[in-house]
Homo-oligomer: A and B are copies of this chain.
Amino acid sequence: MIIMKTDATQEQIAQVVKEIKKYGLRADVSRGAYRTVIGLVGDETRIPFDHFAVLPGVREVRMVDIPYKLISREYSKSFEGLEHMVIKVGTIEIGGKEPVFIAGPCAVESKAQLMKIAEGVKKAGAHILRGGIFKPRSSVHSFQGLGAGGQEEAEEALEWLREAGEKFELPVITEVRGETQVDLVAEYVDIIQIGARNMYDQDLLTQVAKKGKPVLLKRHFGAGIEEFLSFTEYIAAEGNKDIVLCERGIVPVGKGRSYTRYVLDLASVPAIQKETYLPVIVDPSHATGRRDLIFNMSCAAIAAGASGLMIEVHYNPVEALVDAQQQITPDELKDVIDACRRINKVVVSERNEGV
């Protein structure tokens, strides 16, 4: 990471970038409130650091020996002086003072279903509408989402999503599962989601990043925190730092029956926040797989410091084609949001004085 002097000129910055490219690396130029910092993308050991230290306009050359440099707090502090940054999606701020609620059906099933749920989650106080169109499924024999019906059906479902978003003034988000879906999805949504199963798919990450839209990346259920952040870096390496991280549970360990689908690793929320300036949210629906645990685990996530929640909602959960047992109703969502807001106030006010 190359920290420029506060009075470094455009030419000096360009010169450093040019030198970096000579060594086969890419440059991530971050202009901030404090100063300009240039991150290196690629193998830093190929760079003669001494050579860069004496280039005009360079204040300091600093080796960062973690695999997630560009999303590290050290990086944002050096050019913005900030430990946490806010992602803006329309008028919504993710990572700000208030928790953000993303809600909607697991899978979009029909226009009527989507509109009805959109209306419900809006009334309940949600900020962003979710709806799955390309569903990642464990079994090829299960319903794969409307997107599986071909280009036309996928586009129609995406149009419903946008229409619902516009009607109820909710930015929209949906998941892309494969590279061939990226262009299409990017046209319709405000945030592109990459699901847990695709977290390791660096080609998909890179391609989504290039769209320049905010990205929501879920942690894979077999990934340690270091891996999660290392793969997030693939998005940042394309110059896209509008990334929302999402904890959604890791694989259960131990014998006997599972009482929850995954193990929700809530301590990862503050642990990740100490490492990166990106906001972290939590998905209690997939983590627990149980409607009757959503209220408790939503409250717990906000208390742990999460910047928001992603929750699956259906007006009649038992009817849902996918994940029926984990969806809650709009009324229940309202209770969750009310409780979470009050908890957030407690946590924020106490933390200021506290640890």
List the number of copies, as a whole number: 4
| A252 in contact with B267 (CB, 8 Å) | no
Within 8 A of B (CB), among A100-142: 136-142
The contact of A268 among B233, B234, B259, B274, by CB within 8 Å, is B259
A245 to B225 alpha-carbon distance, docked (Å): 28
In the complex the two chains form, is B224's CB within 8 Å of A254's CB? yes
Shortest distance between the CB of A8 and any CB in chain B (Å): 24
A256 at the interface (CB under 8 A from B): yes
Given contacts A140-B237, A332-B354, whether A287 and B263 have CB atoms under 8 Å apart is: no
Task: State the CA gap A220–B67 with chains docked (Å).
Answer: 22
Interface residue count for A (Cβ, 8 Å)?
Answer: 98
Chain B residues near A260: list those with CB within 8 A: 267-268, 271
Q: A140-B234, A267-B287 are in contact. Are A350 and B355 (CB under 8 A)?
A: no
Say yes or no: is A49 at the interface (Cβ < 8 Å to chain B): no
A304 to B201, CA, bound (A): 31
Q: Which residues of B contact A185 (CB under 8 A)?
A: none
Asked if A267 and B293 make an inter-chain contact with CB atoms under 8 angstroms apart, the answer reads yes
Is A168 interfacial (CB 8 A cutoff)?
Answer: no
Q: Measured between alpha carbons, how far is A353 from B111 in the docked complex, in Å?
A: 31
The answer on a CB contact under 8 Å between B342 and A354 is no
